[in-house]
A and B are shown apart, each in its own frame.
Chain A
Amino acid sequence: MSSEDTKEKILNLARKSSKGITDKDIIAEIPGISSVELVTALNDLLKQERFDLFNQNGSLIYKLKTQTNKHAIKGADNEEKVVYNLIEEAGNKGIWIRDIRIRSNLANTQLTKVLKNLESKKVIKAVKCVNASKKKVYMLYNLEPDRSLTGGAWYQDQDFESEFVDVLNVQCHRFLSQRADNMRNNPRGPVFGRTQAYATATEVQKYITDLGISKVVLDVDDVTTILNTLVYDGKVEKSVFPDGSNVYRAIETLIPSSGLVQVPCGICPLIQRCNSSGLITPQVCNYMTEWLE
């Protein structure tokens, strides 16, 4: 048996088992292999970087490296490989430079150099995080950053697009209000009317998509977030259908907005400073004078 054949057999064996293989597995697969042959073959393979080597309960485990892995870091030195592995592990959530430094045990200057190197090779990229503008995280070049980093559809280059949210908020409310009229004095009974007044997030999403006001594709989750803001605005009520899906219905406030807010004092920013005597008094209050005119 040539050494090439042995290597091929070992690789085949490793491909079958995702958990990795041990010396014993190999001996069982290729009976009669001498330990010298085995060691040479394995050493060759390790040199070619086909295997990762792990130590489990005292026995060595060989695990096949993924193909992309192998290609991406061709010609890289050891530091780069370590850093690359850490970044790869983090997936599309990215990893913070500080965490890389702690885990790789590299000095700060060296690490910056390595990262710059990898970046220039377009192997990794730096992504800015929305909830902390100064914080940069690194991830593999070909990955799409996670929602928690980019903030999803609501962010444009780390800026929250509040106007976009407002527009959607208004549109969703309009859609639900149109339906809500079904509830009042429905000739087919209130339960039927209420069911008609309810809309699921999917229906709202379809309406919004048909309107074509959004350049970004909004999925149901995005629309649900918008609907939740409406719930918190007190304009919409959330309920659950028997099949477990969340439904939404436009509602009116229990009491009309009146009372205190009809008087200037109700909305006066100086109410805490106003008194019977002194500079700010109701007798000379400008807000009140304007209101009484």
Chain B
Amino acid sequence: MSHQLGRVVSVILQRYFGENVQKVGDDLFTYGSKPIALLVKSTGLSRIKVVESLRTLLKYDLAMFEPTPNEVIADYRLIPENVLLMIRYPRYLLQIKTKYGSEAEILIEELLQKACSTATVLLVSIAVKYKDDKEKNMTIVKLKDIFISLITAGYIQQASVAELKEGSEIPTLVPVATITPEIDVRAVIKIMNSGNLAESSDNVYWKVNYDRFHQDIRDEIMIKAITRRIDENAGELLRHMLQHMYLTSPAWAAESTLVPAVELREACLRAAADKPLLNQYFDQYLKVLEESGCGTVRADAGGRGYSVRGAGAARGCLLALLEGLVTERLGYKAARIFRIILDKKYIEEDDVQKNAMLPNKECKELSYKLLEEHFISLQPMRKTASAGGMNKAVYLFHINLHDVAHTVQDMCYKALGNVLRRASHERAAHARLLDKQRRVRSIVHGMRLRAEPQQNIDDVEETLTPSELAVLQGVEKRLKQLSAAELEIDKNLFILKWYFMYTH
């Protein structure tokens, strides 16, 4: 829980939910957990507003509550990790679009916006929204099918159900196993036509399963890494291996159970058409994947089975990330020193210089810079006190990967916070113009619907002067760049989080 994380969380809450939620969120972040009465006092907001904010936070799974020891009132707590996930929403959508098509994307988007919804409400609201859109041709039947397939694939799960325990006045949320539902399409269509959502008797709530998306992202990272390191065929082999892994092991296991080589071969045979080389040299690819795959895959002694090492892959990716960062910040020579220290575990300053093949002065300067930015640490080895002045301590350079990862995570938070802050600053600075543009657009849209003459529409559009348009274009471009940057930083945060899963 760093100060920087608090900053990011605060800005995200402000962007998506406004100032009240931000205030409540900040307060919860600073104090850990708090009941409503104390929140009212410390935030200075009215009780109604605090309750509203908490409701929003709870609905989107950004906060949790638990009973205080007396079991009468509830303590609320913020979940900063989930707040950060809001940055990742565009990635989820892109991912689901490439896998299941644009209808699935719309479905997930709607569900993300609603946070938690019954199947009926979800389907009806989407169908109503796109009723007039002839291109997309959304029918309830089609949407239902996609909805069911997303549930089967695990992208959507049943939301936890509140249960009231005996002797307590605070309900607890109990996770429920997801069961694929039978959705009566006729009933849904009836509700849609009547337009009265209250008629629905559906009381099973659904929400998006982030973890499933993260698995996909993780797999993609691993496969891409292997493809870069070896080739496409090896990447394909790893894909098969991961698919088999999911059948028997927990998704985030540090080391999966063995995947039998025989099964893998069959899977590759089936996909032989577009990867003839993989099929032909199956055994060789397995061998190369194990030997040159940076610890992603490990064979058992007999070579009958292979296991995927999530922890190893995470470490490899983290190292690549750190090295990239050091290279960009301090140059490739510093990255060389970084790797030397990493390789030798503990090393003296002179030995670094010998291995790095750098001029003495430069090498020293870079080492100290690395030290200053907390990429490496110093371990003094004091000799036991003895007579004479020749009693110098030896200083060894060392890298504590876990600490460095934390440093970088903090840098990511800071950069993310800065980007978000800058974006909101841009928005605030041009608020008047953006607002005007929005109004003009909505007026024009209305006029088009009413089929008013083109002359009038042009008149309205011209209220935005060319200079204003130029400024707006600039702002839009900047905002776009900033949101692209958010996603990029989030990619790094993902790898860091993945690494922290295995080290504590």
Hey, which bits of chain A sit against chain B, CB under 8 A? 131, 154, 160, 162, 165, 183-185, 187, 189-192, 194, 225-226, 228-229, 231-234, 237, 251-263, 265-267, 271, 274, 276, 281-283, 285, 288, 291-292
Query: Cβ of B231 and Cβ of A255 under 8 Å apart?
Result: no
Contacts of B425 in A (CB 8 A): 282-283
Q: Name the B residues within 8 Å of A185 (CB-CB).
A: 231-233, 277
Bound Cα distance A228, B421 (Å)? 44
Q: Do A154 and B357 have beta carbons less than 8 Å apart?
A: yes
Choose among B233, B324, B477 the residue that contacts A253 (Cβ–Cβ < 8 A).
B324
State the Cβ distance, A245 to closest chain B Cβ, in Å.
17
CB-defined contacts of A183 to chain B, threshold 8 Å: 230-231
Docked Cα-Cα span, A229 to B321, in Å, equals: 20
CA distance A262 to B483 in the complex (A): 12
Residues on the A chain within 8 Å of B172, using CB: none
State the Cβ distance, B36 to closest chain A Cβ, in Å: 28
Q: B462-502 interface mask toward A, CB cutoff 8 Å, 1 = contact, 0 = none?
A: 00000000000000011001100100110110010000000
Distance between Cα atoms of A165 and B358 in the complex (Å): 8
Question: What is the 8 Å Cβ interface bit string for chain B, positions 202-236, against chain A (1 contact, 0 not)?
Answer: 00000000000000000001001100111111100
Given contacts A131-B350, A234-B323, A265-B418, 18 further A-B contacts (CB under 8 A): A162-B358, A162-B359, A184-B231, A190-B234, A225-B357, A232-B356, A233-B339, A234-B320, A255-B224, A255-B495, A257-B324, A259-B324, A266-B328, A271-B414, A276-B7, A282-B417, A285-B422, A288-B418
B357 to chain A: which residues have CB within 8 Å?
A: 154, 162, 165, 225-226, 229
A261 and B325 contact, Cβ closer than 8 Å, known pairs A194-B292, A283-B425? yes
- Of B7, B328, B485, which contacts A267 at CB under 8 A? B328
B379 in the interface, Cβ–Cβ < 8 Å? no
Q: How far is the CB of B163 from chain A (nearest CB, A)?
A: 42
| Given A189-B284, A190-B285, A260-B408: A274 touches B414 (CB 8 Å cut-off) | yes
Q: Could you list 5 A-B pairs, sorted by A, with CB under 8 Å?
A: A192-B284, A252-B229, A255-B324, A257-B328, A276-B421
A266→B411 contact, CB < 8 A: yes
**Interface 9-mer from B121-129, B329-337, B383-391:** B329-337
> Considering the chains assembled together, what is the distance between the CA atoms of A185 and B227 in angstroms?
11
Q: B360 — which chain A residues lie within 8 A by C-beta?
A: 131, 160
Closest to A274 in B: B418
* A263 with B415, Cβ < 8 A, contacts A233-B332, A253-B228 known: yes
Q: Which residues of A contact B477 (CB under 8 A)?
A: 292
Say yes or no: is B183 at the interface (Cβ < 8 Å to chain A).
Answer: no
Min Cβ gap B342→A in Å is: 9
Contact (A232, B336) CB under 8 Å given A194-B288, A226-B357, A283-B422:
yes
Bound CA–CA A263/B411 (angstroms): 11
B452 within 8 A of A: no
User: Which listed residue (A190, A231, A232, A234) contacts B284, Cβ 8 A?
Assistant: A190
Contact flags B333-357 to A (C-beta < 8 A → 1, else 0): 0011101100100000010000111
Whether B224 pairs with A263 at a CB distance below 8 angstroms is no
Q: Is residue B39 contacting chain A, with contact meaning CB distance below 8 A?
A: no
In B430-488, the 8 Å CB interface with A consists of 477-478, 481-482, 485, 488
Question: Across the two chains, which residue of chain B brings its CB closest to A257?
Answer: B324
| CB neighbours of B411 from chain A (8 A) | 260, 265-266, 271
8 Å CB contact of A259 from B230, B327, B489: B489
Q: Is the CB of A255 within 8 A of B414?
A: no
In the assembled complex, B419 has its CB within 8 A of some CB on chain A: yes
The A-contacting residues of B in range 226-251, CB under 8 angstroms, are: 228-234
The B292-343 residues at the A interface (CB cut-off 8 A) are: 292, 294, 316-317, 319-321, 323-325, 327-329, 332, 335-337, 339-340, 343
CA distance A274 to B325 in the complex (A): 19
- Establish whether residues A191 and B284, one from each chain, have CB atoms under 8 Å apart when the complex forms: yes
State how many angstroms separate the Cβ of B317 from the closest Cβ of chain A: 6
- What B residues does A233 contact at CB under 8 A? 332, 335-336, 339
Query: Measured between alpha carbons, how far is A254 from B277 in the docked complex, in Å?
Result: 23
Residues of B close to A231: CB separation below 8 A? 339
Partner pick for B228 among A162, A190, A254, A259, CB 8 A cutoff = A254
State in angstroms the CA–CA spacing of A131 and B354 once bound together: 10
* B488:A292 contact, CB within 8 angstroms: no
B15 within 8 Å of A by Cβ? no
Q: Is the CB of B294 within 8 A of A254?
A: yes
Contact partners of A131 in chain B: CB under 8 A = 350, 360
Does residue B130 face the partner (Cβ distance < 8 Å to A)?
no
Chain B neighbourhood of A259, CB < 8 A? 321, 324, 412, 488-489, 491-492
Top 6 A-B pairs, shortest CB-CB distance: A265-B415, A259-B492, A282-B418, A189-B281, A261-B328, A257-B324
Bound together, the chains give a CA A229 to CA B408 distance in angstroms of: 25
| Most central of B221, B325, B327, B414 by chain A CB within 10 Å | B414
Residues of A within 8 A of B364 (CB): none
Contact: B284 with A229, CB < 8 Å?
Answer: no
Asked whether, in the complex, the Cβ of A190 is within 8 Å of the Cβ of B230, the reply is: yes
A191 to B324, CA, bound (A): 29
Collect the chain B residues with CB atoms within 8 Å of residue A228's CB: 355
